[in-house]
Structure 1
């Protein structure tokens, strides 16, 4: 059948120290490959409260029980409490993921700062933020990162160009369909190949119509039941690594029963003929179940 790349976004300190080890155990037990993308600087999750004015944000929060999944203390970091430096505090946890055989890469330096500020700043800002994250990654792992996956799918041409400058070989910063090479308005390639997230995330599905925690796995499995197209599924250490771990276990078992190979982003990249990829613009668009604008693949 198809390959399904499991991309784990790790947004918070709590997700790093609690959700990541749980996911490593779950995926290793099932023989599933996967990629962990780390937030490497301060956890300022509490500052996300300023998104309250964003269209659809409060509705999404009410559907997905943010307090339950993230915890009250996490929601105070950067507002009432200082934000813990994830890369410094959890360097050993991060290395343990690599040592367990999983691919590791960069998510961001400061998750909230990148997600809320990227589109308001210039190319130099994007490069500075990304450089801080890649430098910390190299300090933790002893080698530079090859993979980047943007926080909140906030991404643009400037960020793609920064990836090329910083030696990122492949990336998953966007939403859309098949892999592509990002280009500017003149058709010039401006960044490494993109492997978009193709499947909806749990927090985009739960609470929509009759979809609930108890049946969300079955809903996703219906989407992959009869396809030979490679997919990218983004999960979160704060969700599938904690309260929603049973849902993820059902997904793994279901995908394997369907005959799909559960792989890392690197495996997907290694199986791709990059020279033959279509060239597409990165544009800002919407995704059902998620608030605000995010980077999407321009339609053909």
Structure 2
């Protein structure tokens, strides 16, 4: 049974410090993974505006934002100019690919995408995706084949653009199994491989779950594998830094449970593409995360 590892890289610090650490851990455990990079400016400090979002302060109060992201990162885009991650870290990104890992697009400007894309029009959305697509090609010398939305935030224009850009598959939302997305009865011909497991920052601080026992909790969720396996999203700023020990516990536990730890492309290659179900692609809420995000909805019955 396969468990795909999807690594979201949100910040300059996560790229410089978390990514190399994750490469080291993955190679140590002979695990494959897909790294999705933020390719433009780091404007993490502008996330302060989320203070007015329901549930945001509750989440912040139980996860040490300063500890995980660093004070300097939290000033980028406000008190400090936002550094261009792609320009400063191209060598690190290319080294990930050179080590044999799949690479793809997370976004161009993480904060801009996560905070605004849901309500933006086609022109705005296409511009942001094109900026990321062009920067990826400049860094790697080849076009990207996959995209995983920042903050699991999407709109219909982004879905259409993924189809237009010819992505092999994408992983933009949360759900239970791979599917072909349907938006208002419109088929989007780019399969979605949703994240199937909760993230560490959604779990720690809830129901007596701590950094010390969260790995045990996640492993309890994967004890009985579903027919199509799992997709686990981790973050370079968390599992690649302060929570690296937790991630190593997970790697060891998943191997003991019999999972093959694979990239998203390897996971996609193992699927029966001719028989993927059609599901609605909706926005909704999940436990542990503030606001709404892209979700796998009900099966679509024509």
Equivalent pair of 2:45/2:75 in contact (CA under 8 Å): yes
Q: Distance in 1 between matches of 2:34 and 2:279?
A: 24
Q: Distance in 2 between matches of 1:120 and 1:174?
A: 17
Equivalent pair of 2:119/2:155 in contact (CA under 8 Å): no
TM-score, normalised via structure 2 length:
0.97
The equivalent position to 1:224 in structure 2, one of 222, 225, 245, is 222
Structure 1 residue 164 and structure 2 residue 163: aligned? yes
> Mapping of 1:233-248 within 5 angstroms?
233-248=232-247
Q: Distance in 2 between matches of 1:162 and 1:191?
A: 11
Deviation at 1:58, TM superposition (A): 0.6
- Residue of structure 1 equivalent to 2:192: 194
Q: Distance in 1 between matches of 2:207 and 2:82?
A: 36
> Mapping of 1:102-141 within 5 angstroms?
102-141=101-140
Structure 1 residue 297 and structure 2 residue 296: aligned? yes
Alignment size in residue pairs:
298
Equivalent pair of 2:4/2:232 in contact (CA under 8 Å): yes
- Residue of structure 1 equivalent to 2:183: 184
Equivalent pair of 2:125/2:157 in contact (CA under 8 Å): yes
Q: Distance in 2 between matches of 1:251 and 1:279?
A: 31
| 4+ residue segments displaced more than 2 Å | none
Unaligned 5+ segments in structure 1 are none
Q: Distance in 2 between matches of 1:68 and 1:149?
A: 25
Unaligned 5+ segments in structure 2 are none
- Alignment RMSD (CA, Å): 0.8
Once the two structures are superposed, what CA deviation does each residue of 1:148-200 show, in whole Å capped at 9, x if it has no partner?
000000012211101111221110001011101112323x3224100000000
Deviation at 1:20, TM superposition (A): 0.1
Q: Distance in 2 between matches of 1:198 and 1:299?
A: 15
Q: Distance in 2 between matches of 1:200 and 1:119?
A: 22
Deviation at 1:275, TM superposition (A): 2.2
Equivalent pair of 2:183/2:282 in contact (CA under 8 Å): no
Equivalent pair of 1:160/1:191 in contact (CA under 8 Å): no
TM-score, normalised via structure 1 length:
0.98
